């Protein structure tokens, strides 16, 4: 069924032209990207041959350092930038050939506030509705409903310039939902928000997924957020996808849990004995401590205790730590701090103030 949908969407030119054909099954893939590449200067690729798939109803996290190509990718998927090469299918529509259909089926909540600050909250939401060609009789109640969802009903008639950062972000969310998108892009939805607003935004995101079965594509720098919210995550750096998987898969990819054991001082090296225990991946010894990388830490730890006891060593301390997404992130993207020149050509206005140089 999935395949049928895929084939149909890839030949959608025909689908659109022949009304008589039976309606194709909707692809389960809401987003399918194949070899997407963007180069601003024709030499270096800001986004380099990126491929992945996002499925209906999931929250998909897109993580990477500054300048990794996240915003450029989002801008391509939301039709703001034209891909240099590669293709993508968004909600069953070809990204390049069916731009209007793509735009109708997606919502975008950008990183920075893009509301018109001279207009009121409700005027901004209605303006977005107009961009989609939604008539007032529908857009008005819908706008009020959305402002209620993001708890801005009371402030609806106030000019946006009087809003706080959190209110602007919530307004942005309401604007992004006005066309009832199937796929919502959230670019760092909680950046710079206080703890309360962050929690509220998380709550909205979960509700969109659970109650409305919406598919969400979000970028974030907060790894706890990604861990909590996302069903699957793609790690991107230098324009290339490093890893795609669920948070637990990614953590498991590091080789598993870390068990640290301290034994009463004992000159003999027990590494060999530990390494033979099932599930143990790696053992490192320093002084009287052993650092053991293992799968299924909870089950392996007792086995290690037994093995050490059998070898005559006395365990004085043991700890199991699960790898965090932070560790995964640093493992794959490294520790060096990024300058943003890699994304100098991206069209994100925040960086754009400096980064968007005029290209001739």
Partner 1 sequence: MAQQETEAQRAANHPSLSTLEREAPVNESPLHGIWALTNRDLKKWYKDSLMLLLSLIQPVLWLGLFGKAMNFGAIFTGSSFNIPGLNIPKQVLNSLASQVMQQTFGTTDYFSFLAVGMLSFISLFMAMSSGNSLVWDRRLGFLNKELSTPLSRGVIPLGKVFAAIVRGLTQAAIVLVIAVLLGLSTSHFSVVGILGTFAALFLMVMGFSAFFVMLAVRSTNQDTQIMIVNLLNLPLLFASNAMFPAKFMPGWLQPVVQVNPISYATDISRQLLLGSSGMASLGFDFVYLGSFAVLLTVLGMVVSWRFLSR
Least Cα distance to 172 among 109, 263, 218 occurs for: 109
Cβ at position 237, least distance to partner 1 in Å: 23
- Nearest residue (CB) to partner 1, 105 versus 294: 105
Q: Which residue stretch of 22-30, 42-50, 234-242, 253-261 sits at the interface with partner 1 (rule: CB under 8 A)? A: 22-30
Window 207-246: contact mask with partner 1 (x via CB under 8 A) = -----xxx--------------------------------
CA distances (Å), 200 to each of 173, 181, 227, 261, 277, in order? 12, 20, 17, 41, 46
96's CB contacts (< 8 A; 6+ apart) are 82, 83, 87
The answer to whether residues 72 and 346 touch, using CB atoms and an 8 Å cutoff, is yes
- Nearest residue (CB) to partner 1, 129 versus 230: 129
Cβ at position 97, least distance to partner 1 in Å: 10
198's CB contacts (< 8 A; 6+ apart) are 190, 225
Least Cα distance to 169 among 119, 230, 113, 104 occurs for: 113
- Classify burial at 22, counting beta carbons within 10 Å of its beta carbon; exposed 0-12, middle 13-18, buried 19 or more: exposed
Cβ at position 246, least distance to partner 1 in Å: 24
The residues in 246-285 that bind partner 1, with binding defined as CB under 8 A, are none
The residues in 156-195 that bind partner 1, with binding defined as CB under 8 A, are 175, 179-180, 182
Task: Give the one residue of 10, 49, 80, 153 binding partner 1; rule: CB under 8 A.
Answer: 80
User: Residue 61: how many CB atoms within 10 A of its CB?
Assistant: 26
Q: Does 83 participate in binding partner 1 (rule CB under 8 A)? A: no
The answer to whether residues 219 and 61 touch, using CB atoms and an 8 Å cutoff, is yes
Q: Does 23 participate in binding partner 1 (rule CB under 8 A)? A: yes
The residues in 95-124 that bind partner 1, with binding defined as CB under 8 A, are 98, 100-101, 103-106, 108, 110, 112-116, 118-119, 123
The rounded distance, in Å, linking the Cα atoms of 312 and 253 is 33
Task: Give the one residue of 96, 127, 277, 305 binding partner 1; rule: CB under 8 A.
Answer: 127
Residues within the interface to partner 1 (CB under 8 A): 12, 15-16, 19, 23-26, 40, 75, 78-82, 91-93, 98, 100-101, 103-106, 108, 110, 112-116, 118-119, 123, 127-128, 130-135, 138-139, 142, 175, 179-180, 182, 212-214, 345, 347-350, 352-353, 356-359
């Amino acid at each position: 069924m999935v395949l049928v949908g895929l084939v149909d969407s890839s030949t959608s030119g025909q689908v659109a032209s022949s009304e008589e054909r039976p309606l194709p099954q909707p692809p389960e893939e809401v987003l399918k990207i194949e070899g997407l590449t963007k180069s601003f200067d024709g030499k270096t690729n800001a986004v380099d041959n990126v491929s992945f798939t996002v499925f209906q109803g999931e929250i998909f996290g897109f993580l990477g350092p500054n300048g990794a190509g996240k915003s450029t990718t989002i801008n391509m998927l939301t039709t703001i930038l034209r891909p240099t090469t590669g293709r993508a299918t968004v909600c069953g529509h070809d990204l390049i050939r069916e731009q209007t259909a793509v735009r109708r089926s997606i919502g975008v909540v950008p990183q920075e506030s893009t509301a018109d600050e001279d207009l009121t909250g409700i005027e901004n939401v209605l303006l977005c509705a107009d961009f989609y060609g939604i008539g007032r009789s529908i857009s008005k109640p819908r706008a009020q409903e959305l402002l209620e969802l993001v708890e801005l009903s009371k402030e609806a008639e106030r000019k946006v310039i009087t809003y706080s950062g959190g209110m602007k972000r919530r307004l942005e969310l309401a604007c992004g939902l006005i066309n009832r998108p199937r796929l919502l892009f959230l670019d760092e939805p909680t950046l710079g928000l206080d703890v309360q607003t962050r929690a509220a935004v998380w709550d909205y995101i979960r509700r969109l997924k659970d109650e409305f079965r919406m598919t969400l594509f979000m970028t974030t720098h907060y790894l706890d957020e990604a861990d909590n919210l996302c069903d699957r995550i793609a790690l991107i750096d230098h324009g290339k996808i490093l890893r795609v998987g669920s948070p637990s898969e990614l953590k498991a990819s590091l080789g598993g849990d870390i068990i640290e054991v301290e034994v009463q001082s004992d000159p003999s090296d027990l590494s060999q004995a530990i390494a033979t225990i099932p599930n143990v991946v790696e053992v490192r010894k320093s002084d009287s401590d052993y650092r053991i990388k293992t799968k299924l830490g909870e089950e392996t730890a007792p086995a290690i205790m037994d093995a050490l006891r059998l070898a005559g060593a006395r365990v004085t301390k043991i700890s199991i730590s699960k790898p965090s997404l932070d560790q995964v992130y640093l493992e794959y993207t490294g520790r060096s701090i990024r300058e943003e020149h890699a994304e100098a050509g991206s069209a994100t206005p925040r960086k754009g103030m400096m980064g968007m140089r005029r290209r001739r």
